[in-house]
Amino acid sequence: MTVNLYYSTSSKSSRSARAWLVANSIAFNERDIIANPLDRDELKQILRLTENGFEDIVSTRSKAFKALHIDLSDLGFNQLLDLLVEKPQLLKRPIIYDGRRLQIGYNEEDIRAFLPRSVRKSELREIQQKLYDDDQQAVG
C-alpha cells in the first residue's frame, strides 16, 4: 500500500516525518493539506482508523482552534467534517496513512510500523542476535 503523508510546510513534525520516510526509502505521496485540504471522504477514511475520532485529529491546543471558541462535543459529525474541510489548519500534522495504518504526529517509534514487514523482521532478528551474543559474553 502506498503511504500518504499529509503535512504542513510550517510543521517541524511534518518535516521530520518526511525526512524519515525518505531516509528509509519508503515510497510515499505527499500533500500539503493547508494548500490542498482533505475532502470529507478522505477525512472519513482517516477517522475510521482513529481510536477517539475527532479528538485524535483535531489540534485543540492550536491558536486556530482556540480562536474559534468552540467545544468539539458541541458539534455534530457533519459539522466537524465541514469545519475541517474549511479550516484544515485545525488538523494535527503530520497525518501518515496507508489505508490500514494511521499515525497522527511524528513519533520515531510508531512510524516504524510503515517499514515493510521484511525490514522489521530483519531488524528484530538482529536485535535478538545481539541480545543472545550479550548473554553469551556475560555467561562465558
The model's pLDDT over 24-59, given as tens digits with 9 standing for 90+, comes to 889 999 999 999 999 999 999 999 999 999 999 999
So where are the chain's domains?
A: 3-115
How much is the pLDDT for 140?
66
pLDDT band for 125, please (50, 70, 90 cuts): confident
Beta sheet of 102-104, edge-to-edge order: 28-32, 3-7, 95-97, 102-104
Helix (H) or strand (E) holding 103: strand 102-104
Does position 124 have pLDDT exceeding 70, yes or no? Answer: no
Q: Give the pairing of strands 3-7 and 28-32.
A: parallel
How much is the pLDDT for 120?
58
In terms of Cα–Cα distance, which of 96, 84, 104 is closest to 41? 84
Q: What is the pLDDT of residues 57-101, one digit of tens each?
A: 999 999 999 999 999 999 999 999 999 999 999 999 999 999 899
pTM (two decimals): 0.81
In terms of Cα–Cα distance, which of 28, 34, 40, 35 is closest to 96? 28
CATH no. of 3-115: 3.40.30.10
